[in-house]
Structure 1
Amino acid sequence: MSKVLDFDYNKYILLSQDYLFKSAINNYNSNKYDEAMSLFISAEEDGNVYALAHIGIMHLFGEGRIVDKLKAFEYFEKGYNYGCPLATAWYSRCYKYGYGVYKNGEYATKVYKENEEALKKLCIAEDTGALFFLGQDMILGIEREVNENEGFKLLEKAMFKGDVHSSTLMAECYINGWGVVENINKAVDLLMKFPNPCSPRYNFLLGKVYYYGSGVGIDYNKAFRYFEIAANSNVSKAKDYLGDCYRYGYGVEKDLCKAIRWYKDAADNSRVANSAISLAFMYKKGEGIVKDKKKAINYFMIAAEEGNVQAQRIISKEYILGEVLKKDYELARLWLEKAANTGDAKSQTTLGKFYLSNFGNNDEKKAFEMFEKAAEQGYTEAEYLLGTCYLNQNLLEKDIELALLWFDKAAKKGHIKSMYNIGLIYMGNYGMIRNPEKGIRYLIMAADENSEDACFMLTQLYMNGIEGYNEEDIYINLKEALSYAKKLVSLYDNCEYQCLLANILNKLGNIKESEEWYKKALANGSESVKLDLSRMYITEGINYSQAVSMLESFSNKENGEAQYLLAYCLENGYGCNRDKKRAKNLYDCSKINGYKESPLPNKKLFGFF
């Protein structure tokens, strides 16, 4: 049965100044654990109930001895029965986490609340153990609301009295910005000035310092050594880092089997998100283990449930694709929304696209809001998409100026589609604004980054003419068109681009190379290129028979130009037997199909047969 403890200040002062107890505390803070334990036991045998809490703490954390949670609980329980507030606090913590006793959260909270006032009075008396315990609870929000500032102040008091556990937690506060401004140098200074080698937290923090080179030089060997100590003391996050060390060979020989073992320990037993997602990718890729999509998704799910944003996006995508999990667009949306609600710009952007994807949750207004939130964080793709919203009038009133503003932000960070869209705007494709000099410049920027659309657009513009560019009414530059067409065919095995290149070469009079590219396009599956190649053959007066053969395949397809060219060959007997009657029928068909005559060499006029 729990009880409300009363704190006897005078009794505490008397016992805390006891020679044996003070000597034990001094030895403990100097990491002389054997001497400290011996003195604490002597003090307890002399009736000092406060020694019971410290003996329990040393057994709980394995300070100078093997961790023994059962024995730790026995001492805490004894101290609780004698009315020691610090022992009672740890007694409640044992029930909360199952240290040496079955978990009983309800009972743990009850004992904690009944002991809270006594613990606070013990803090006022500046007992370092109580200051650390309550300070830690305030910072981490254990059994109370988080109050990082007040928690840090309590730790600071304990640290000034030599408490190494408080200095270690203060270092963590400086690393994470808990109750103070982040200051890695102060954190490192505390870790170096107050060594606490038996503390799992201390070893883990020191491992991170050397792993990232924060405040010191990167030293993977030292990082590995400290992570190993902490991991063997059951620090779950240290197990994750140890897995990384083995996976990538940081400070130890690369060993994927050991990496997997440590990741599994952390993920399966402590649900460490980073370990779970590392395992998920290893199962997905077959890295050091047999590929297994189902296990990969299981670990992605653990990571997602523990708040890993990347895993939440992956689980969302899996519910859309349905490769392992059953398709469920509603769950896909919920996971994406969880990720987006963390403020993650990529997730917000993906969620915005989801709202426009016809998965049953179409919401243009929400899509725009997501793009806007992500864009305001400087996420490049969202800036582009927001510009697209303003440009295309899909989600709101068209605003070319705002479209340009957001495209420009993305373009400055190398976003190719944004460069291309700015080019189109300045070329006058969306009205209102036209500046060909700027338009061509942005299209060239996009083309230099291998934009297919920009290369094609520049090819067409230079070939067909740019109005009001380069101080000319119509600016044509076939050599520039040729360079971009060549870039297109070098990047893409596309018969349309091969045909386009052939057309430009033909216009430049390079018949041989033009023929080669027409034939490549033909071999690549383009039927329409037969017309272009036939036209070139006839215009140049070569290979008439091949031209006729190709044109025959078009003559019954209502293609006016093919009918016209075939009629020309039949009329003159080029590459075929002369057949004026059929030629006249084909000329008539070409007119009916809307083809207007083009000048060809030696064309004869009809009327006399």
Structure 2
Amino acid sequence: MARARRLSIAVITLTLLAGGASRLSARVFEGRMAYRSGDYATARAEFSADTEQGPVARFFLALMQLRGEGVPRDERQGLALLHDSAAAGYAAAQYLLGLSYLYGHGVNRDRARAAKLLASAAAGGDYRAVAYLALLKQGSRGERRDRAAMLAAVKRAAARHNAVAEQTLAFMYLIGDGVPKDFSREVSWYRAAARDGDGAAAFILALMHYYGEGMPRDSAEAARLMKIAATAGHVRAQFFLGTFYYHGQGVKQDRRQAAAWIGKAAARGYAEAQYAYGLLLLSGDGVPVDKVKAMEWLGRAARQGEEGARDALQELVALRGGGGGSGALPLNAPLTPPAVRNGNGSGETGPRLEGKGVVLDSGEFSLKFSLPDLTDAYAAPSTTPGTDNFWNRFQGGKFEIIYRPGK
């Protein structure tokens, strides 16, 4: 990997809603807006531009392939995308794939596999799957009658203020599953679900208000709904709410609250939150400085594939070995941070704490890395070619190479 590419840190986490990663998330929302309006060409382009190919983007691409919406119908390609999305845990994909196995659409019928997929979808908050599992206990009466019974069951549960059913019915109005696509009904059911405590619905509405998806942008309302979702335990909402508090978007800026919410999401395994929380601990931004724990959180995020955390750890251990060598940590090397030395004079090499930074000895050279404020790490990318890399982001007293001749 080229040095500039290896050292670059994507603009993510605490500028998620205004920076690089927000562009990835925005692709999905732009795709949803285009899909809702029937502009399938734009929808396909936006979902395909989601370079991480998340499960939501893959689901909508699969749906368009299976239905022939804006593209020639391609059941094989659609099912391949659907399998990927379902394997990544997206409930809507698990539901649709479960029906494929139940009725033999493009695959051999497999009732056991269908039931397993529907159970996963039900656990993930898709009430259509809940209804189908109940129907299967009574015995299938054929696809057409089963689908009609499913729709009736979802509507009955939604009318009884079942929040999961309300959120599911909103999604059905988005994609036109058994009901016509209808944005006003979609939003009204999301609002009903949010009022009844559904975190996923509150999260979706919060993003709609933040991005202005079909409604005026309103950061205060976005923050209010995001807090409802976060309090209900929605892990992504906890992370997003942390970013709101960090930047003062829709709420009064509060770095301690930001760290608290990001820490909650990190503790539940959300990789971007682990990366951000590691940097907060490293810099003492909203939390007391704890460089040992910071490296632990960066390691957890890196093991989940978070490239920014991997880059940070690579640079923390880049100068290792004798003779002043500066070889980078190989991408396949273990990502568990080395033991931190506390300046006990033992002569061992490896990182140690010193002031506000982490120092790594390497023969005649030492590398001192410190991060006083996350804003520096997540500044907007430079427009000057060749200057937007890790090293340049940490200049100005934040990154030093110490030379000790004769050591």
TM-score by length of 1: 0.31
Q: Which has the higher contact order (CA 8 A, sep 6+)?
A: 2
Between structures 1 and 2, the one with greater helix share: 1
TM-score scaled to structure 2, two decimals?
Answer: 0.45
Q: Look at both structures and tell me which one has the larger radius of gyration over its CA atoms.
A: 1
